[in-house]
Each structure stands twice: as structure tokens, then as C-alpha cells.
Amino acid sequence: MFTGIVTDMGEVLDLQKRGDLRARIGTSYDVSKVDIGASIACEGVCLTVVALGQNPRNWFDVDISAETVSKTNLQSWQLGKRLNLERALKVGDELGGHIVSGHVDGVAEVVRVAPQGDSVRVTFRAPKDLAKFIASKGSVALNGTSLTVNEVEGCDFGINFIPHTQKVTTWGEVAVGQQVNLEIDTMARYVARLREWD
């Protein structure tokens, strides 16, 4: 379980196909305090740490199944790509964002980027089957970042990125055409499921 508050920007150091995809991710986390088997959200995808090291910089390895690659933007990962990282929520941690599972529902596309004062307004296009779960002033997780939706029009929805978010996450590099991992709000999912029983 995560909160969507990014705590590090990692970097893809190595990618190997060996049945599943093995990725090595550079991090500023103190890996001496990370356990094998720990969950780390990488671009919003909950992945399991399978190896750790500190040479020449801190890193951890994750194995990524073909199913996960096919349902996320991980298929576009390449060496040097920067990633939003978040360690799993611990009991007693501050819940600054919203409850995020790290189970990506689909991929949205950036269709518009426009400066707005010091902020940047970005319009995303969600897959049609997921758009109904996105509501104005509701929460959504994009590339592992907890964000508030400003407005919704059909399958398109807008997010405002303040300077702080642009600085401490990969959203400072957002561009039209970019594919982003989308996780809808868990509460929206359950409300929709309950309505099916009415």
C-alpha cells in the first residue's frame, strides 16, 4: 500500500530479458534499510525488490512479468529513464496523498501541456472503460503520484502541476504523447461495483 507521495526519483541502470524483465534501478534510498522482498512503487507499479547493492551507487533490482509490462508504460523503459519511487506505507506514516495500491488499471496519454502561471496544466486522455471512474476534484494516481483532478470532459481530464511537484517528481519532464500509468481511486472502484448490485 502506498500514498502517491513520491519520495525519490530513481533511474533505470540496466534492463535484461530473462523470461521476465529484470530492471536495476538507481536510488538515493539507503538500501541497507531495504529488505529483499520489500515493495517499492516504480512509476506507480508495485514491484518486489529481488536484489540490492551499493556499487557505484545505491540500487535495487526488480523482476517484472510480461503481464505487468503489457498493462503499463514499462514497455517504454530505457536506460537512463528517471522514475518516480515510493516505499511502501508503514503503520503510523502520514497519509499525505490517497490510498494507492500500486496495481495500475491502464495507460493514459498526455494530449495537452500548457503553462499556467508558475504551474503547468496537463490534459490526459484515459481509456474509455476507466474514464467513468475519474471525477472532478477526485483523486487519481499517475506514474505513482497522487493528484487532484481539476476537470473532466468525456475521456479527457486535467491536472495542475505546481512547481514543487515538477521539481521532486518526473512531471517536470512531461510531454505531449507520453504514456502514463493510471490507477483510479479505490473508492471510485468500490462505489461502481456496489452500484452494479442495485
Position 41 in a domain: yes
**pLDDT for the residue 65:** 94
Residue 186 CA, chain-centre distance (Å), reads 15
The widest CA-to-CA distance across the chain, in whole angstroms, is: 58
Would the pLDDT of 165 be above 90?
A: yes
Average pLDDT, the chain: 93
What's the whole-model pTM score? 0.92
Model pLDDT for residues 120-131, shown as the tens digit of each residue: 999 999 999 999
Residue 198 clears pLDDT 70, i.e. is over it? no
Q: Sign of torsion, CA 70 71 74 76?
A: positive
pLDDT of 96: 74
Tell me, what's the pLDDT at 181?
98
Task: Give the DSSP H/E element, type plus range, for residue 128.
Answer: helix 128-131
CB 29 within 8 A of CB 122: no
User: Which of 78, 77, 80, 23 lies closest to 49 in space, CA to CA?
Assistant: 23
Domain residue limits at 154: 106-195
pLDDT score recorded for residue 90: 78
Residue 92 lies in a domain: no
CATH number at residue 15: 2.40.30.20
Q: Is the pLDDT of residue 27 over 90?
A: yes
How far apart (Å, rounded) are the C-alpha atoms in residues 47 and 119?
A: 31
CA dist 13 and 70 (Å) reads 21
Predicted confidence (pLDDT) per residue in 61-118, tens digit: 999 999 999 999 998 999 999 999 999 987 767 777 788 889 999 999 999 999 999 9
Instruction: Pull the grid cell for residue 171.
Output: 512531471
Q: Do 75 and 121 reside in the same domain of the chain?
A: no
- Give a yes or no: residue 96 inside a domain: no
Q: Per the structure block, which three cell numbers stand in for 141?
A: 494516481
Cell numbers that stand for 124 in this block: 490526459
3-state DSSP assignment of residue 82: strand
Tell whether 64 is covered by a domain.
yes
